[in-house]
Structure 1
Amino acid sequence: MTIAEAKLKERVKELTCLYEVTSIIVNSDYDQLETSFKAIVHCFKKAWQFEDITEVLLSVGEYHVKTEGFRSDMVNIRSDIKVFNKVDGQIVVGYPSEKYAVSDFLKEEKTLLDNISLAIGNLMERKQIHDSEVATRRQMERTDRLHILGEITAGIAHELNTPLANILGFAELLKEKVNKEENVRDLNKIMDNAIFSREIVKKLMFFACEMPQEMKPVLLKPVIESVLKLLAPSLREKKINLAASFSNDSMTLRADTVQLTQVMFNLIMNAVYYSPTNGNIDLNISEKEKVIRIRISDEGKGVAVENEDKIFEPFFTTKPIGEGSGLGLSVVHGIINSHKGSISYESNTPKGAIFTIDFPKL
């Protein structure tokens, strides 16, 4: 084979590889990128001059794919993969160092490597944009769903208030007229259940932002310290270590003190409930440019992926029957929303939950 024929053969291999890799990228499923990267690595082996001993490593973001014989001590050429102008990985092509040198790689092979790195970087950029759009769409759908639920809930709460008040009022009147202890006991049960139902209605109205508020500047640290004192027995019972930190002791919000207390109590109580014995809870309050951020993280079991979109919906709970009404987080969401703030959930590492609240600064 002449030198010209050999060069032509190499160019054909390189162009074939570029075509195959481009086809793989165009048809990639964003949820199965590792499969695509494995196919790309396989294409690489066939494109290099000494394809029988070529080994490849492709590492980008969370993905790490390599051929079976790749070793870190191989003589190699590499190209960085940039995602939005930041290096996020690399492709490395290697030969056995005992027989080959860097000079054995062709200039055209380095050009091919750079072109494919650029194509993979573009793919990762499109994936990030796609993931961001999906997350935004889910957030909008959840907001719309919560808004509709809020309107329905407000109507139900108003409708239930009157009959509950009547049940409670007439039960109190009957209690004054009866003398038998067993009858009084039955009436007490009626009254207790009516009061319990009324409290649920109040929570529904909190979720729907129908409760009146007394908004005023509130110093945040004393409110949180008061909540922690209330929860001290629960923390001691499970031997939980709660670490609270404040970036500034004088952080102030415009808020309803009672509702702010309820938000903190519900979120920390949830963290205590799901935390294991001797677990750790981290409570961090910091001042950002435009918001005051409250971050509560625990080491519990966290929230299953399929339930993440439901956690702020009323009556949704993962607690056993009788241990939760499913209104705690929906009430928290309603209160924070009425304070023009936001709340978000993310999983903790290696396990647990993180709730982040942003309140607008005064």
Structure 2
Amino acid sequence: MAPLITTEDKLKERIKELTCLYAISSYIANCNIEDINPTIQAIAISLKDAIRFPEDASVEILIEDALFKTGKAPVEKVFILSAIKTFNTPIGSIKIGYSESKYTANSFLNEEKQLLQKVALEIGNLLERKQILENEAITRRQIERTDRLAILGEITAGIAHELNTPLANILGYSELLKEQFVNNTKAINDLEKITNSAIYSREVVKKLMFFSCDMPQQMKVTNIVPIIKDAISLLKPNFIKKNIDCQLQFEDTDIPLRVDAIQLTQVIFNLVINAIYFSPKNGIIKVHVIQNEKDIEIQISDQGKGIDAANSESIFNPFFTTKPVGEGSGLGLSVVHGIVKSHKGSIKHKPNIPKGTIFTINLPKN
């Protein structure tokens, strides 16, 4: 049983509690908000020292799945507990315990219970500040990205319009020159190279115009099942080349949606051809189309190497690519992003367990 506490003991306990609160305030004021674990551990140690019998006490601070503890941890114990809350939602707790064989619930002072509540409140305030700063950082990055994309949209629209005319001239004059060099094989071959390069450049311009949403949309309600099937059928040689199995799954045979059929084909084509590129031989690509009450969800998953965390926020930026030089323009995913946004939808990606990536597109019905 714990000994009776005298007036002198009470005074010493008050000093210990005040010292603890001061130390905890200092820890929180100087906390590295990006890594609060050392601060929480230091708070646990300070709290243990402030208890009446620190040599026999155990302190456990639980925050979501993270546990911070110090001192003895008896199997059977008596304890006091206080909830840690952020924005009035419990996310953890602080527990101080003694061995049940030596102490009882009466061994804790009322002031210690109040101290526990104050520390729980301080930790809750720290976690709220961390959450607010993280949300502000996410919002700031989203705003910066939106601004960049808006500026790039204007720039690329201008570039696309400026390039269309000279590219048309190059193609036209190349065809005229072919007629003049009908019997000159070398010249014809060189002109073919010019023509092919101009056609490739024209395709890049089309992608730029898709990205800038400067191409007129022809929106109408249509069954998207055959559109998706046709887009994937275009890639049959690519599947055969790497012996990849493409598994299509539609929850309904008729999934009506108001879309631009050509642009939806572009979205599916780009995402699936990317999946093929990054998939290993004999891999599996899954395309799953789900019809919900409010929207249509299209999931495209692969078994590739996945997206590095460092590139996670850049993959939809125009001209960003992880492919080797000459194998990608970096416009495919930015085109997809632009088309999906123009349809008032959203596109996200997440890891495919155990490996690969899942792209999820949500297109609203209304």
The bucket for the TM-score relative to the shorter chain is: 0.7 to 0.9
| Structure 1 stretch displaced more, 240-249 or 301-310 | 240-249
TM-score, length of structure 1 as denominator length = 0.87
> Out of 129, 152, 155, which is 1:152 matched to?
155
**Structure 2 runs not aligned, ≥5 long:** none
Moved more, 131-140 or 120-129: 120-129
Name the counterpart of 1:317.
321
Q: CA deviation at 1:233?
A: 5.4
For the 8 Å contact 2:55–2:71, the answer to whether it is kept is no
Structure 1 residue 216 displacement after superposition: 0.3
- 1:266-285 paired onto structure 2 within 5 Å: 266-277=270-281, 281=285, 283-285=287-289
Q: Distance in 2 between matches of 1:222 and 1:92?
A: 60
* Residue matched to 2:268: 264
Match of 2:362 among 329, 335, 358: 358
CA shift for structure 1 position 57: 2.2
RMSD: 2.9
Deviations 1:45-82 (A, max 9, x none): 21111212333222213543223754666553332222
Question: Residue 124 of structure 2: which of 121, 125, 129 is its match?
Answer: 121
Q: Which residue of 1 aligns with 2:14?
A: 11
Residues 165-244 of structure 1 mapped to structure 2, 5 A cutoff? 165-178=168-181, 179-231=183-235, 234-235=238-239
| Larger deviation, residues 279-288 vs 307-316 | 279-288
Give the equivalent residue in structure 2 for 1:90.
Answer: 93
Counterpart position of 1:337: 341
Counterpart-to-counterpart distance in 2, 1:275 and 1:351: 10
Residue 354 of structure 1 deviates from its aligned partner by 3.8
Deviation at 1:327, TM superposition (A): 0.7
Task: Note the alpha carbon deviations across 1:15-70, whole angstroms, 9 max, x for none.
Answer: 22223223323443321211221221221121111212333222213543223754
Cα 1:202/1:14, change in 2 over 3 Å = same
Runs of 4+ in 1 over 6 A off after TM superposition: none
Distance 2:288 2:162 in 1: 40
**1:310 aligned counterpart, secondary structure:** coil
Normalising by structure 2, report the TM-score: 0.87
Task: Tell me how far apart the structure 2 counterparts of residues 19 and 298 of structure 1 sit (CA, whole Å).
Answer: 54
SS in 2 for 1:77: strand
Contact (CA 8 Å) 1:57, 1:70: kept in 2 or not? no
Name 1:135's counterpart in structure 2.
138
State the percentage of identical aligned residues.
53
- Cα distance in 2 between the residues matched to 1:167 and 1:47: 83
Tell me if the contact between 2:74 and 2:98 (Cα under 8 Å) persists in the aligned partners. no
Q: CA deviation at 1:339?
A: 1.6
Give the distance between the partners of 2:72 and 2:64, measured in 1 at CA: 22
Partners in 2 of 1:278 and 1:77 — Cα distance?
Answer: 58
Tell me the CA shift for residue 104 of structure 1.
3.1
1:279/1:23 CA distance change after superposition, 3 Å: farther
1:44 to 2:82 alignment: no
Letter of the structure 1 residue corresponding to residue 44 of structure 2: V
The number of residue pairs the alignment matches comes to 362
The answer to whether structure 1 residue 327 and structure 2 residue 324 are counterparts is no
Is residue 232–residue 268 contact of structure 2 (8 Å, CA) maintained in 1? no
For the 8 Å contact 2:48–2:71, the answer to whether it is kept is no
Are 2:113 and 1:110 aligned? yes
Name the aligned partner's letter for residue 320 of structure 1. P
Cα separation, partners in 2 of 1:351 and 1:56, compared to 1, 3 Å: farther
Which letter does structure 1 place at the counterpart of 2:64?
Answer: G
* Cα distance change of structure 1 residues 101 and 355 upon mapping to structure 2, 3 Å threshold: farther
2:187 is aligned with what amino acid?
N
1:281 & 1:79 partners in 2: Cα distance? 50
